[in-house]
């Protein structure tokens, strides 16, 4: 079973866990647990289904709705009606479905189409990318594809595997100090490089590098933005056509220390001082 087949099956999975023990969903659910991207999609699907369910339940029911529907049904029985040409959406509803439920179902379908139509644009936003990379940094069992402490070899490996390998690093990450390994991930058809560091005094950090043109809202040039994503501290910035995301496994102060030039006074905020970078071309 691939991801597309699993998505088709999981679209019928009801929110609330009623289908957790249904064998028809077992294989798709197991794949969702192993695949982070499918897991993120499934979580969003469940939220959408729960939202639609709440919206339908919140719709007020007119007190005279039943009488009106019965009166309308009796009127139709008294007339000979020529069947119109088939309409595509009528085949979506079971025979005998009442008008009220047909309208409700149509509203749900149109709402779902509208949400689905907007997903490609919304999912390409940097916040969604950040959440996905944080998930990879924290939850993926294969944290790195290769363990290597030599930057030259890491850059070469990233290039061989079609990852970003022409990037610029903050001074604190320049050289081999703290480098532990690397990985290549996929994001909307683009390759993303990850560098894993274990830094003395700053703990464990992961740096993700992607093309800035992938995002309609790439972070600002050379001005790190410090935010929490998925409960983890992150810093993001752009430089020379690349978008950078740093995920810390400690506190936000550790990321700020990494991105401060060593000569800067400790009390200065990273936003108030030049952002010092070192190109990997030095290696």
- Rounded distance, CA 92 to CA 102, Å? 9
Decide if 89 is inside a domain: yes
pLDDT score of 108: 61
Mean pLDDT of 66-80: 72
Question: Is residue 27 domain-shared with residue 96, that is, in the same domain?
Answer: yes
**Is the same domain home to 147 and 277?**
yes
**Is there a domain that residue 49 lies in?**
yes
User: Does residue 190 lie in a domain region?
Assistant: yes
Last residue of a domain, one of 123, 151, 169: 123
38 and 149 assigned to the same domain = no
> 6-45, pLDDT tens digit by residue?
888 887 887 777 777 777 788 888 888 888 888 888 887 7
Q: Are residues 115 and 155 in the same domain?
A: no
Whether 148 is in a domain gets the answer yes
159 and 89 share one domain? no
Same-domain status, 148 and 272: yes
Is there a domain that residue 131 lies in? no
- Pair (76, 148) in one structural domain: no
The packing angle between helices 3-10 and 23-34, to 10°, is 130
Residue 189 lies inside a defined structural domain of this protein: yes
Looking at the structure of the chain, the number of domains it has is: 2
* In the chain, % of residues over pLDDT 70: 72
pTM over 0.85: no
In this structure, the answer to whether residues 183 and 237 fall within a common structural domain is yes
- Cα 88 to Cα 85, 105, 276: the distances in Å are 10, 14, 60
pLDDT in tens, 78-130: 665 555 555 555 555 555 555 555 566 665 666 665 554 444 444 578 988 99
Q: Domain limits at 234?
A: 143-282
Q: Are residues 104 and 230 in the same domain?
A: no
Tell me what the mean pLDDT of segment 45-52 comes to. Answer: 75
84/154 same-domain check: no
Taking a C-beta distance cutoff of 8 angstroms, is the pair 181, 222 a contact?
no
Q: Is residue 129 part of a domain?
A: no
Residues 67, 104, single domain; the answer is: yes
Asked whether residue 134 is assigned to any structural domain, the reply reads no
pLDDT for 194: 94
Helix ranges restricted to H, the chain? 3-10, 23-34, 36-58, 65-77, 99-123, 126-139, 151-160, 252-259
**Helix H or strand E encompassing 233:** strand 232-239
Q: Please state, rounded to an integer, the average pLDDT across all residues of the chain.
A: 76
pLDDT at 2: 81
Give the span between the Cα atoms of 117 and 282, in whole angstroms: 45
Residues 59 and 155 in one domain: no
User: Which tens digit of pLDDT belongs to each residue from 121-167?
Assistant: 445 789 889 988 998 888 877 889 999 999 999 999 999 999 998 88
Q: pLDDT at position 226, please?
A: 92
């Amino acid at each position: 079973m691939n991801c597309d087949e699993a998505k088709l099956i999981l679209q019928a999975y009801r929110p609330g866990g009623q289908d957790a023990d249904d064998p028809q969903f077992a294989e798709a659910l197991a794949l969702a647990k192993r695949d982070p991207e499918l897991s993120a999609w499934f979580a969003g699907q469940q939220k959408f289904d729960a939202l639609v369910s709440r919206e339908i339940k919140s719709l007020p029911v007119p007190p005279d709705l039943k009488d009106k529907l019965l009166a309308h049904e009796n009127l139709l029985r008294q007339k000979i009606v020529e069947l119109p040409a088939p309409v595509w959406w009528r085949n979506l509803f079971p025979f005998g479905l009442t008008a009220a439920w047909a309208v409700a179902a149509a509203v749900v379908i149109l709402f779902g189409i509208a949400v689905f139509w907007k997903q490609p644009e919304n999912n390409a936003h940097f916040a969604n990318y950040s959440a996905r990379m944080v998930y990879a940094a924290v939850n993926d069992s294969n944290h790195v594809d290769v363990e290597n402490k030599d930057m030259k070899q890491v850059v070469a490996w990233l290039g061989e595997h079609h990852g970003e390998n022409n990037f610029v690093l903050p001074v604190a990450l320049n050289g081999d100090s703290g480098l532990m390994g690397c990985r290549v991930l996929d994001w909307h058809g683009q390759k993303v490089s990850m560098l894993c560091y274990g830094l003395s005094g700053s703990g464990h950090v992961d740096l993700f590098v992607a093309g800035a043109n992938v995002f309609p809202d790439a972070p600002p040039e050379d001005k790190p933005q410090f935010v929490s994503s998925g409960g983890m501290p992150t810093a993001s910035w752009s430089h020379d056509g690349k978008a950078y995301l740093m995920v810390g496994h400690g506190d936000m102060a550790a990321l700020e220390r990494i991105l401060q030039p060593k000569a800067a006074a400790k009390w200065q905020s990273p936003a108030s001082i030049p952002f010092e970078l070192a190109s990997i071309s030095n290696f």
